[in-house]
Amino acid sequence: MTAVEERAGQVSRARWADRELFDLEMARIFSRCWQFLAHESEIPEPGDYVLRKMGRDVVIVVRDENGDVRVLLNSCRHRGVPLCRADSGNASHFRCSYHGWTYANTGELRGVTYQRDVYGRDGIDKSRLPLYAPAQVDTVFGLVFATWNRDAEPLREYLGDITWYLQAVFDKYPEGLEVVGTPVRNVVRANWKTEGENLSGDGYHTAITHASAFELGLFATERDLVKLADEIAPRFTGRTVCTPRGHTMRVQRLPLVLDGTHYFGYPAGMWPQFDARLSPAQRELMSALSVGHGSIFPNMSFIENFKTNVDGPDLHARYVRITIRYPIDATTSEELWLYLCPRGADSDWARLSRLAYLRTNGPSGLFEVDDTENFVGISEASRGDVARGLPVVLEGGRHHPATPVEAGWPGEVVDGDRTERTIRCFHRRWDELMGDSEAGR
Amino acid sequence: MTKAEPAQQAVVDAATAFEIQDFLYLEAELLDERRYPEWVNLVADDFTYQVPVPRTPDSPHKPHWDDRSLLIDESKWSLMSQWFRRFDADIYETAWGENPPVRFRHVLSNVRVHGLTGPAAYEVRSNVVLIATRQSDPPRYLSGRRTDELVRGDSGFLLRRRRVVLDQVLLDFPQLRIIL
């Protein structure tokens, strides 16, 4: 057991259903932590904006006229009316529909209607009423984050060792990634934490929850593997990464014996580009990848997945997806789905990658249908008065060996695929932020 | 208000319109009853089914969906081998999300048929409400505008293309693996 996963072997099921704990989470987690909001490619031009949430607050993520990304609370300083009603758009100014107060897309209050009539000859001091904004906004590899917390450590420090892994996923493309179109939004009747726990590194559920996907050929089987390499290794191998702020990742490698790097699922023309942008240890991470996924505390997850036979036999592709879960109440959340494609990618491959995503880990994909049933079920069952008081068991993988340091992977890294250590890591961070909130519960 | 061309009226004869409407009712019935092997016989080999992602646009002159991103993009092959296959006797017990299955009910209305240029091809627009009931939950609803393309084959009509534009943006439905 590593330092990051101490405690948190058993946690109460109240965490997935209790209303008062939920309210405390909003105060102690969502008002303090850095949260992922958007990808820079969603707002390429000055004035482009998307609406997103930080906890239960709606914010405008906008590129101002100077090209800087701003995050603004979507609520007029006058009487609180939302300024943006569309999911996305382009605006140099935001004008309130109630009394017409107008803000530049930097958030600065520019116009107050009938000012002398309403506020006297000197008017109102506009400089003290810009749109309310997070204390810090920062971007890493195109990923925009913000926090309300003035005292929060800088984003790079907050992300810590997981940055190296985010770089391998999001920054290996010479022209970058772009989010393709409007993200899907849907309501999931599950606690906001549940899917993030799964994506944090649960390699234990895959063979059971997704058993039918094996039957359908969506996981590489011997039939596919023999065509990828001359020699097949005995089994899929996995590693998980834990970091002190609760960010984690799991990486599963295809069971192949290979020389050099092989980024299966991408056009061969892209392979040397990845080699050029990744360090040797990052190449090891990304080569022969079966799946890599992780969660950034509290509510963002990412996945890069190699899926086989997605549009017919031997048609395989990788894709990159980001999901976010916004809390609505203790047993309801809103999910946002971003599919990302490398800029300038071959169009036939891009189509196959998108199909691989949609048909497996997309909102209508079959993996999600099976996963969601589990996530919803946890909240349903944990509402019971007896069930809520019981612990869940999160003890798996404690005996797995640490990865040799020579591998060069940062963070606390362990060899072993079927594990619960990343979920323990999430809850250890949760404990740290929530303090003694469960006392007497 | 800008001047518009007069709205187009249906241009097929009543008998054809009736046949097509009946075809759509049959097709919906087969879906609702999960008679997928029979449903598959009603679609063309090059069938495509797409649902663009719904959105709230920033202008009444922009569509409330985004053609750049799709919620669903399926073919006859993918529906047969990745959707319906999950109900087969040898694997349904581990196709957890379909067992017990969500109960679907299609409600169709406002069916209008237009002849397309080319041999015996039709564009059929309709309104669709899909009602889904999961386990003991209350039913949930999705509504949309459907645009189908039909061709008349040797043994009746075949569905060649279906595209559905949804009204709801924040989708609240038990599962999104749905044929509207």
Q: What pLDDT, in 10s, does the model give residues B160-179? A: 999 999 999 999 999 999 99
Residue A10 domain-assigned? no
d(CA A125, CA A122): 8
Residue A290 shares a structural domain with residue A383: yes
Residue A219 shares a structural domain with residue A132: no
**Which pLDDT value is given to residue B133?**
98
Residue A47 domain-assigned? yes
Last residue of a domain, one of A118, A147, A176: A147
| Residue at A286: amino acid letter | M
Residue A165 shares a structural domain with residue A135: no
Contact A331, A379 (CB under 8 A): yes
Residues with Cβ within 8 Å of A315's Cβ and at least 6 positions away in sequence, in order, are A309, A352
Residue A224 shares a structural domain with residue A264: yes
Judge: A372–B169 Cβ closer than 8 Å, yes or no: no
Judge: A186–B178 Cβ closer than 8 Å, yes or no: no
- CB-nearest partner of A186 from B56, B94, B176: B176
pLDDT confidence bin for B117, thresholds 50/70/90: confident
Q: In which domain, by residue range, is A61 found?
A: 34-147
pLDDT tens string A349-368: 999 999 999 999 999 999 99
3-state secondary structure of A225: helix
Judge: B74–A359 Cβ closer than 8 Å, yes or no: yes
CATH code where residue A289 lies: 3.90.380.10
Judge: B68–A364 Cβ closer than 8 Å, yes or no: no
- CB-nearest partner of A186 from B57, B83, B172: B172
* CATH class belonging to B14-166: alpha beta
Residue A200 shares a structural domain with residue A68: no
Give the N- to C-terminal CA distance of chain A in Å, as an integer: 27
Residue A136 shares a structural domain with residue A230: no
Residue A52 domain-assigned? yes
Q: Which residue of A has its CA nearest to B67?
A: A181
**Which pLDDT value is given to residue A440?**
47
Pairing of strands B156-166, B43-54: parallel
Residue A126 shares a structural domain with residue A186: no
CATH code where residue A70 lies: 2.102.10.10
Contact A355, A308 (CB under 8 A): no
3-state secondary structure of A405: helix
Chain A residue numbers with beta carbons less than 8 Å from the beta carbon of B55 are 86-88, 182
Residue A230 shares a structural domain with residue A293: yes
Give the N- to C-terminal CA distance of chain B in Å, as an integer: 34
Is pLDDT of B153 > 90? no
Contact B106, B32 (CB under 8 A): yes
Judge: B69–A184 Cβ closer than 8 Å, yes or no: yes
**Which pLDDT value is given to residue A204?**
95
Residue A142 shares a structural domain with residue A172: no
Minimal C-alpha gap between A135 and chain B (Å): 28
Chain A residue numbers with beta carbons less than 8 Å from the beta carbon of B59 are 86, 89
3-state secondary structure of A375: helix
3-state secondary structure of B51: strand
Average pLDDT rounded to a whole number, residues B133-150: 97
Judge: B58–A185 Cβ closer than 8 Å, yes or no: no
- CB-nearest partner of B177 from A182, A185, A369: A369
| Residue at A311: amino acid letter | D
Q: What is the DSSP letter of A404?
A: P
ipTM: 0.94
Is pLDDT of B96 > 70? yes
Chain B residue numbers with beta carbons less than 8 Å from the beta carbon of A90 are 58
| Number of domains into which chain A is organized | 2
Residue A256 domain-assigned? yes
Please list the rounded mean pLDDT of every run of 10 residues in chain A (441 residues): 53 94 97 97 98 98 97 98 97 98 98 96 96 98 98 98 98 98 97 98 94 90 92 94 98 95 97 98 97 98 97 96 98 98 97 97 95 95 93 94 96 97 96 80 51
**% of chain B with per-residue pLDDT over 90:** 88
Residue A226 shares a structural domain with residue A97: no
Chain A residue numbers with beta carbons less than 8 Å from the beta carbon of B140 are none
Longest CA–CA separation in chain B, Å: 60
Judge: A339–B176 Cβ closer than 8 Å, yes or no: no
**Which pLDDT value is given to residue A436?**
76
Chain B residue numbers with beta carbons less than 8 Å from the beta carbon of A366 are 82-83, 86, 95, 97, 177
Chain A residue numbers with beta carbons less than 8 Å from the beta carbon of B172 are 186-187
Residue A361 shares a structural domain with residue A280: yes
| Residue at A303: amino acid letter | I
**Which pLDDT value is given to residue B11?**
74
Residue A132 shares a structural domain with residue A269: no
Is pLDDT of B4 > 80? no
Residue A380 domain-assigned? yes
C-alpha distances (whole Å) from B127 to each of A335, B57, B180 are: 27, 21, 10
